[in-house]
């Protein structure tokens, strides 16, 4: 005879787990992180951890509507083409993850109100849901803060370095004869 | 024999009954015609004719004996009708075949199960002539008896082939739990639902007159009927006149099924009376409500009939599944009362408990998960109530229900009559408020699609075939574990001697003598709480109870207006007939049932 007779009158002992989160070993992969600013309709939050932001040089190629990251070693040679930005890790209310580049003053110290307002919004967005909308009449950003939304954003479970890797995959200028540089210099 | 999962049992009896409803009347208790039982180990076979059946079964029924049948509630129903004890350990090969093929195939007859296992199914085919012979009732000649017993034995022999083939894939402890429910199902089918047969007779008697007057009265606002025929073109004109957008089928015709009416009724309540009328006229064309000689509506509960394992009784034969006004026919017998007890927001509670989403659990335990959802989402202030924020609560409620059924924004918008963007926002708020639930729900679908199946806490399984529907799979844990909860509660209650008349989705109807009604209702609530605690691993669901004492009748508010209208029309017709002293016309569409209210079939006064 086997160990114990099956007893349908003790259902507690028959209960099977319903924890699907671990059972099939499924994990959502972050495969796309656009490098752009939030649109005028998007509410956003920025990562409060300073490790999730970084100052760097980028080049915007208008014809491709794409932003390229410039390797640190090349920045001194490309001062005329690149612009300095702070990259903020940003999440929209729809759950999209962005790398938001906000202009920093150039070598000449030139600054403008829009850049300042963007940095201010990025700072505020570490604690509240924000939205930025360009006001043509004022030639400045209108800044909106959501007061009734209490939910904290779900931040991606990856490092900032991994976000940069995903966001700038194929768009890192790491050599002086990069095709983007050639194009901008009229050499290609 | 240690590898033999049945080694615990000293005897294994394969049992099959042939039976017919008492006096041949549908809805009556079964009369056992014959029994063939075969004991696997000894090879002993017992064949009994009805007059040979004694006060006790010819086999033991204690926990050391396994009772095996195919659709065991029928066999247990015969036990109950004979006054025999219910076997303590039941293995139902129908239920297990359903569980092994659920989602892949719906064919679940004995022949289908044999064919599925590549077993000889000659002899197990349904023989209509034999069924007719049995249903006709006796007396049977000696030759006919031999034929009937042989026919019964064929099914027992089929069980002998099927059991070893199915056994390796049967999870025996949980299979016995399912067998336990088949005994409860038999008890509930045995009890049936008490029906006010006098009023039922009056409705049948005056059905034709009511029908015409109902059309006249209700169609006055629509003008879509021509005589008794619903005219699609007239309906189209009525819709156009009011600017109501109505769904069309692939051929461009207006959809006229009840589900479309039900959906549209939510956004356009003016459609409701027309829908009720159509349902009333439609049901007259289908089978009548089977009411036994003792005034009880008895139908096959069809345990494990749906993919989720929920019961699936006939929508025209079970009083609780017919249009809502039919529920007013339910009336406790004199000196008795009934209690309708249902779990409050069962599916929300299950989702909250099994997903472990604490915000959703908090919403459930607040007592009003829809209002609480609105508060958690920041749309309703913390001191808002069902009264002060009714419109907002209704929207959040619609959203919760939409999520349960996997609805998209477009359908939700149609249901609550709002722009799609608003519906989309509601759905987004749900995702945002209950992120753990969504992660769990999506993981359940991933689990199903990756591993090919999903299981309830007690092993009811949905297999994922080529036609996998992620929305159904996402809803499976709530529906199927809700079914487990109901089954467990019904089993516990019937075993305690509570008279459960019927299971109704996430509710039960019980009855008791008036002096014990409150006590039994309270006990049933405690049992339902315990069943939820077991299924949800400690999380307890609330129940609501509605008590009706004789001579009152049960009333569902959704059908109240229609019922009142029917009663008024019947009274009118009766007054006129009395004045004219004319006999009532015959009712050919319900020809099975004598039209004379003094006839033998439904005359039992209650």
Average pLDDT, stretch A2-24? 80
pLDDT tens, residue by residue, B416-426: 778 889 999 99
Mutation site, B173, B437, B456, interface A, largest A CB count within 10 A = B173
Comparing C-alpha atoms, which of B250, B266, B442 is closest to residue B357? Answer: B442
Identify the pLDDT of residue A3.
57
Between B177, B439, B535, which is nearest A8 by CB?
A: B177
Residue B229, both tokens: 């025929």
Average pLDDT, stretch B174-186? 98
Asked if the Cβ–Cβ distance from B537 to A15 is below 8 Å, we say: yes
- If you average pLDDT over each of B35-39, B408-412, B449-453, which comes out highest? B35-39
Residue A8: list chain B partners with CB under 8 A: 89, 173, 176-177, 179-180
pLDDT tens, residue by residue, A86-112: 999 999 987 889 999 999 997 777 888
Report in angstroms the alpha-carbon separations of B215 from B101, B228, B277: 46, 7, 7
Residue A164, both tokens: 């940069």
- DSSP string of B541-577? --EEEEEEETTS----HHHHHHHHHHHHHHHHHHHHH
Identify the pLDDT of residue B590.
36
pLDDT-wise least confident of A177-181, B243-247, B457-461, B514-518: B243-247
Asked if the Cβ–Cβ distance from B488 to A11 is below 8 Å, we say: yes
Residues 6+ apart with CB under 8 A from A62: none
Report in angstroms the alpha-carbon separations of B296 from A149, B88, B441, B551, B569: 55, 27, 41, 16, 25
Asked if the Cβ–Cβ distance from B455 to A16 is below 8 Å, we say: yes
Comparing C-alpha atoms, which of A24, A47, A36 is closest to residue A153? Answer: A47
Identify the pLDDT of residue A24.
65
Residue B459, both tokens: 């092993």
Identify the pLDDT of residue B587.
47
- What is the rounded distance in angstroms from the CA atom of residue B524 to the CA atom of residue B365? 20
Residue B183, both tokens: 């005994």
Average pLDDT, stretch B381-399? 93
More confident residue, B485 or B562: B485
Mutation site, B446, B486, B527, interface A, largest A CB count within 10 A = B446
* The pairing of beta strand B499-504 with beta strand B507-513: antiparallel
Residue A151: list chain B partners with CB under 8 A: 432-433
CB B267 within 8 A of CB B417: yes
- What is the rounded distance in angstroms from the CA atom of residue B289 to the CA atom of residue B299? 9
- What is the rounded distance in angstroms from the CA atom of residue B301 to the CA atom of residue B193? 12
Identify the pLDDT of residue A167.
94
* Percentage with pLDDT > 90 across chain B: 67
Q: B112 φ, ψ to 5°?
A: -65, -40
Residues 6+ apart with CB under 8 A from B255: B246, B247, B248, B249
More confident residue, B209 or B353: B353
* Percentage with pLDDT > 70 across chain A: 95
Residue B343, both tokens: 């779990």
- What is the rounded distance in angstroms from the CA atom of residue B153 to the CA atom of residue A26? 51
User: Is the ipTM, as predicted for this complex, more than 0.85?
Assistant: no
- Chain A nearest-CA distance from B256, in A, is 38
Core vs surface per residue B518-536: b (16+ CB within 10 A) or e: eebbebbbebbbebbbbbb
3-state SS assignment for residue B14:
strand
CB B114 within 8 A of CB B161: yes
**pLDDT, mean over chain A:** 89
A183: which DSSP letter? H
- DSSP string of B28-54? SPEEEEEEEEEETTT--EEEEEGGG--
As a three-state string, the secondary structure of B66-92 is EEEECCHHHHHHHHHHHCCCCCCCEEE
Between A8, A18, A26, which is nearest B173 by CB?
A: A8
More confident residue, B534 or B209: B534
pLDDT tens, residue by residue, B504-524: 999 999 999 999 999 999 999
Average pLDDT, stretch A16-45? 85
Report in angstroms the alpha-carbon separations of B90 from A188, B61, B157, B491: 82, 9, 18, 13
pLDDT-wise least confident of B145-149, B160-164, B185-189, B247-251: B247-251
**Which runs of E-coded beta strand occur in chain A?**
44-46, 53-61, 66-70, 83-92, 97-103, 130-135, 140-145, 172-173
pLDDT tens, residue by residue, B77-132: 999 999 999 999 999 999 999 999 999 876 899 999 999 999 987 665 667 788 88
Between A16, A19, A24, which is nearest B446 by CB?
A: A24
Residues 329-388 of B with CB under 8 A from A: 354, 356, 378
pLDDT tens, residue by residue, B19-60: 999 988 889 999 999 999 999 999 999 999 999 999 999 999
> B331 burial class (0-12, 13-18, 19+ CB within 10 angstroms)?
buried
CB B325 within 8 A of CB B276: yes
Average pLDDT, stretch B461-487? 92
- What is the rounded distance in angstroms from the CA atom of residue B421 to the CA atom of residue B283? 39
Identify the pLDDT of residue B60.
97
Identify the pLDDT of residue B1.
43
A29 touches chain B (CB under 8 A): no
**pTM for this entry:** 0.82
CB B58 within 8 A of CB B46: yes
Identify the pLDDT of residue B592.
36
Identify the pLDDT of residue B179.
98
- DSSP string of B191-208? H-EEB-HHHHHHHHHTHH
Beta pairing partners, A70? A57, A173
- What is the rounded distance in angstroms from the CA atom of residue B33 to the CA atom of residue B78? 9
pLDDT tens, residue by residue, B583-599: 655 544 333 333 333 32
CB B281 within 8 A of CB B465: no
pLDDT tens, residue by residue, A154-187: 899 999 999 999 999 999 999 988 999 998 888 8
Query: Which ranges constitute the DSSP H helices of B290-434?
Result: 346-355, 358-365, 369-376, 390-404, 409-416, 420-433
Q: At what angle do helices B72-82 and B172-191 cross, to 10 degrees?
A: 50
Residue B219, both tokens: 């169609």
More confident residue, B561 or B537: B537
Average pLDDT, stretch B475-487? 97
- Chain A nearest-CA distance from B131, in A, is 34
Average pLDDT, stretch B299-326? 91
Average pLDDT, stretch B376-389? 93
Asked if the Cβ–Cβ distance from A8 to B179 is below 8 Å, we say: yes
pLDDT at A1 over 70: no
- What is the rounded distance in angstroms from the CA atom of residue B16 to the CA atom of residue B134? 14
Identify the pLDDT of residue B364.
98
Confidence class of residue B303 from pLDDT cuts 50, 70 and 90? Answer: very high
Asked if the Cβ–Cβ distance from A14 to B1 is below 8 Å, we say: no
Q: At what angle do helices B93-101 and B142-166 cross, to 10 degrees?
A: 40
CA B204 remoteness from chain centre:
24
Identify the pLDDT of residue B320.
92
Identify the pLDDT of residue B277.
86
Q: A with B: how many residue pairs have Cβ under 8 Å apart?
A: 81
Asked if the Cβ–Cβ distance from A15 to B455 is below 8 Å, we say: no
Residue of B nearest to A9 (CA): B177
CA B384 remoteness from chain centre:
37
- Chain B nearest-CA distance from A6, in A, is 5
pLDDT at A4 over 60: yes
Asked if the Cβ–Cβ distance from B354 to A18 is below 8 Å, we say: yes
Residue A6: list chain B partners with CB under 8 A: 8, 172-173, 176
What is the number of alpha carbons within 13 Å of residue A48 lying toward its C-beta? 8
Identify the pLDDT of residue B67.
98
* Percentage with pLDDT > 90 across chain A: 50
Core vs surface per residue A46-66: b (16+ CB within 10 A) or e: bbeeeebbbebbbbeeeeeeb
């Amino acid at each position: 005879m086997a160990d114990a007779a099956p007893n349908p009158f003790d259902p507690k002992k028959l209960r099977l787990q319903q924890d699907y989160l671990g059972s099939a070993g499924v994990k959502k992969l972050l495969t796309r992180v656009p490098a752009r600013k939030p649109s005028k309709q998007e509410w956003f939050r920025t990562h409060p951890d300073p490790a999730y932001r970084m100052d760097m040089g980028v080049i915007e190629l208008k014809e491709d509507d794409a932003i390229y990251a410039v390797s640190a070693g090349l920045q001194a040679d490309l001062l005329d083409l690149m612009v300095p930005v702070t990259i903020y890790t940003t999440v929209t209310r729809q759950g999209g993850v962005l790398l938001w580049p906000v202009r920093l003053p150039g070598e000449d110290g030139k600054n403008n109100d829009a850049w300042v307002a963007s940095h201010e919004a990025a700072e505020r967005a570490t604690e509240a849901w924000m939205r930025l909308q360009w006001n043509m009449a004022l030639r400045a950003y209108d800044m909106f803060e959501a007061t009734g939304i209490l939910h904290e954003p779900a931040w991606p479970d990856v490092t900032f370095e991994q976000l940069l890797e995903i966001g700038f995959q194929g768009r890192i200028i790491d050599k002086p004869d990069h095709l983007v540089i050639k194009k901008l210099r009229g050499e290609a | 024999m240690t590898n033999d999962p049945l080694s615990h049992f000293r005897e294994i009896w394969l049992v099959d009954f042939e039976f017919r409803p008492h006096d041949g009347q549908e809805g009556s208790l079964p009369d056992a015609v014959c029994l063939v039982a075969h004991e696997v180990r000894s090879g002993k076979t017992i064949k009994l004719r009805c007059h040979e059946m004694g006060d006790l079964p010819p086999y033991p029924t204690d926990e050391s004996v396994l009772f095996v049948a195919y659709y065991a509630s029928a066999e247990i129903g015969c036990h109950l009708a004979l006054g025999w004890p219910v076997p303590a350990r039941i293995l139902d090969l129908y239920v297990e075949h359903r569980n092994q093929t659920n989602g892949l195939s719906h064919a679940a007859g004995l022949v289908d199960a044999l064919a599925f296992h590549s077993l000889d199914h000659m002899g197990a085919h349904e023989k209509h002539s034999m069924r007719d012979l049995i249903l006709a009732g006796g007396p049977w000649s000696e030759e006919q008896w031999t034929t009937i017993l042989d026919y019964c034995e064929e099914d027992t022999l089929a069980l002998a082939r099927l059991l070893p083939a199915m056994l390796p894939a049967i999870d025996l402890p949980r299979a016995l739990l399912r067998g336990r429910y088949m005994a409860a199902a038999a008890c509930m089918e045995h009890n049936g639902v008490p029906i006010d047969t006098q009023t039922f007779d009056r409705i049948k008697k005056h059905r034709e007159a009511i029908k015409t007057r109902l059309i006249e009265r209700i169609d006055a606002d629509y003008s879509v009927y021509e005589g008794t025929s619903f005219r699609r073109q007239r309906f189209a004109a009525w819709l156009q006149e009011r600017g109501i957008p109505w769904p069309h089928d692939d051929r461009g015709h207006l959809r006229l099924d009840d589900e479309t009416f039900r959906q549209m009724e939510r956004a356009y309540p003016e459609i409701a009376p027309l829908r009720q009328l159509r349902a009333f006229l439609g049901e007259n064309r289908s089978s009548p409500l089977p009411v036994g000689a003792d005034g009880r509506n008895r139908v096959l509960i069809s345990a494990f009939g749906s993919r989720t394992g929920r019961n699936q009784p006939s929508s025209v034969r079970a009083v609780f599944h017919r249009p809502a006004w039919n529920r007013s026919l339910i009336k406790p017998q004199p000196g008795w009362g009934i209690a309708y007890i249902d779990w409050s927001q069962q599916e929300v509670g299950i989702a909250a408990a099994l997903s472990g989403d604490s915000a959703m659990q908090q919403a459930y335990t607040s007592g009003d998960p829809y209002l609480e959802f609105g508060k958690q989402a920041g749309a309703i202030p913390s001191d808002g109530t069902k009264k002060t924020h009714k419109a907002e609560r209704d929207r959040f409620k619609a959203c919760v229900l939409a999520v349960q059924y996997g609805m998209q924004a477009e359908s939700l918008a149609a249901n609550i009559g709002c722009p799609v963007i608003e519906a989309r926002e509601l759905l987004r708020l749900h995702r945002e408020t209950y992120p753990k639930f969504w992660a769990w729900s999506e993981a359940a679908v991933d689990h199903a699609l990756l591993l090919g199946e999903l299981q309830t806490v007690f092993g009811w399984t949905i297999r994922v075939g080529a036609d996998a529907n992620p929305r159904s799979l996402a809803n499976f844990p709530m529906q199927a574990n809700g079914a487990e909860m109901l089954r467990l509660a019904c089993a516990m209650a019937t075993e305690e001697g509570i008279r459960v008349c019927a299971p109704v989705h996430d509710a039960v109807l019980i009855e008791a003598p008036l002096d014990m009604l409150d006590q039994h209702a309270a006990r049933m609530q405690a049992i339902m709480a315990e069943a939820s605690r077991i299924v949800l691993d400690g999380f307890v669901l609330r129940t609501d109870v509605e008590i009706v004492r004789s001579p009152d009748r049960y009333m569902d508010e959704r059908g109240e207006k229609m019922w009142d209208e029917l009663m008024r029309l019947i009274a009118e017709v009766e007054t006129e007939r009395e004045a004219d002293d004319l006999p009532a016309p015959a009712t050919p569409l319900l020809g099975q049932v004598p039209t004379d209210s003094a006839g033998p079939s439904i005359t039992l006064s209650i």
